[in-house]
Amino acid sequence: MAKQEVIRVLIADDHHVVRGGLRALLETEEGIEVVGEASDGVEAVLKTRALEPDVLLLDLVMPRKNGIEAIQEIKHESPEARILV
């Protein structure tokens, strides 16, 4: 039997309750690991760079750097990045 590969997820949203809710929901799913959280666009870029998640769940409206700016920077550095808005 083949071993299921774990999907590593980073959650980026400026609302703590949203991040917590998404984390709680995703942690109930087998094969998904939440590797980190970011509270703004700058932190999302830095944590994506450091943690190299398979998927980034990203809010568009965040302080310091909005989601569009963060996506542009992340895609420039990692064109293969999978980002869900």
The count of other CB atoms within 10 Å of the CB of residue 38 is 25
**What's the pLDDT score for residue 43?**
97
Query: Tens digit of pLDDT for each residue in 24-36?
Result: 999 999 999 999 9
- CATH code at 75? 3.40.50.2300
Domain assignment present for residue 60? The answer is yes
- List, in sequence order, every residue forming a beta bridge with 36; answer none if it has no partner: 10
**Is 32 a domain residue?**
yes
Number of structural domains (the chain) is 1
Whether pLDDT at 18 is above 90: yes
1 lies in a domain?
A: no
**What's the pTM?**
0.89
Whole-number mean pLDDT of the chain?
93
pLDDT at 1 over 50: no
> Can you tell me the distance from the alpha carbon of 32 to that of 24, in angstroms, rounded to the nearest whole number?
11
Q: Confidence band (pLDDT; 50, 70, 90) for 8?
A: very high
